[in-house]
């Protein structure tokens, strides 16, 4: 076992320092050390997209980055993006359109979608599919996810904002 190193980074707006083993991925760091389990770990080799987080504002795979490499960066996880309500409209649209079933892929899908719309505010359906090419969903068949993202792109273009996302009472 190699020595731990102190790492300082900003997660969801809070700057913190922790001792980490160099081999610990950012995904494991977020989930185990910080208890932020919204970042999912699936394949742990860059294929499924469940582990996407924003690193300095761009989607990256938390399983393909060691926590030590993230020193000095700003990370936003699905928890932080939920808290700040920037993805409230995406969450609402996913909910309305049943774009999630088990929900395992959803944090990654939301972050991929947010990254896409930041680059390309009104993507075509083909461009949406292309942007999701690294995100696997084993439940929905993708169609509903593409619909939800398309809806949000249109709503944002029309200047609509969504209230904070909260689960409806059963």
Ligand X SMILES: Cc1cc2nc3c(=O)[nH]c(=O)nc-3n(C[C@H](O)[C@H](O)[C@H](O)COP(=O)(O)OP(=O)(O)OC[C@H]3O[C@@H](n4cnc5c(N)ncnc54)[C@H](O)[C@@H]3O)c2cc1C
Residues that bind ligand X (CB under 6 A): 46-47
Q: Which does 114 bind (CB under 5 to 8 A by kind): ligand X, other proteins, ligand FES, none?
A: none
Asked if 5 is part of the footprint of other proteins (rule: CB under 8 A), the reply reads yes
Q: Which does 50 bind (CB under 5 to 8 A by kind): other proteins, ligand FES, ligand X, none?
A: ligand FES
Asked if 33 is part of the footprint of ligand FES (rule: CB under 6 A), the reply reads no
Do residues 116 and 54 lie in contact, with contact meaning Cβ atoms separated by under 8 Å?
A: no
> 98 in the Ramachandran plot: left (φ > 0), alpha (ψ -120 to 50) or beta?
left
Residues 130-169 that bind other proteins (CB under 8 A): 130-131, 133-135
Q: Identify the residue among 7, 54, 60, 63 touching ligand FES (CB under 6 A).
A: 63
For ligand FES, the closer CB: 105 or 148: 105
* In the complex, least distance from residue 49 CB atom to ligand X, rounded to whole angstroms: 9
* Other beta carbons within 10 Å of 56: 12
Distance separating alpha carbons of residues 7 and 69, to the nearest angstrom: 9
Asked if 59 is part of the footprint of other proteins (rule: CB under 8 A), the reply reads yes
Alpha carbon distances (Å) from 162 to 94, 110, 156: 13, 15, 9
9 phi and psi angles, rounded to 5 deg: -155, 170
* b/e 69-89 (16+ beta carbons within 10 angstroms → b): ebeebbbbbbbbbbeeeebbb
Interface map 23-52 toward other proteins (x if CB under 8 A):
x-x--x---------------xxx--x--x
For other proteins, the closer CB: 11 or 128: 128
* Other beta carbons within 10 Å of 170: 3
| Binding positions for ligand FES, rule: CB under 6 A | 41-44, 46-51, 61, 63, 100-105, 137-140
């Amino acid at each position: 076992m190699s020595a731990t190193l102190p790492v300082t980074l900003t997660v969801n707006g809070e700057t913190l320092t922790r001792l980490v083993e160099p081999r610990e991925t950012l995904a494991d760091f977020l989930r185990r050390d910080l208890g932020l389990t919204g970042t999912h770990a699936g394949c742990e080799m860059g294929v499924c997209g469940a582990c996407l987080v924003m690193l300095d504002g761009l989607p990256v795979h938390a399983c393909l980055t060691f926590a030590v490499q993230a020193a000095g960066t700003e990370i936003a996880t699905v928890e932080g993006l939920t808290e700040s309500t920037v993805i409230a409209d995406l969450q609402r649209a996913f909910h309305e359109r049943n774009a999630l079933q088990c929900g395992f892929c959803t944090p990654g899908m939301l972050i991929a979608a947010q990254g896409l719309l930041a680059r390309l505010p009104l993507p075509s359906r083909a461009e949406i599919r292309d942007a999701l090419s690294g995100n696997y969903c084993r439940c929905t068949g993708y169609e509903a996810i593409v619909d939800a993202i398309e809806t949000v792109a249109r709503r944002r273009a029309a200047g609509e904002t969504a209230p904070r996302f909260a689960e409806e009472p059963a």
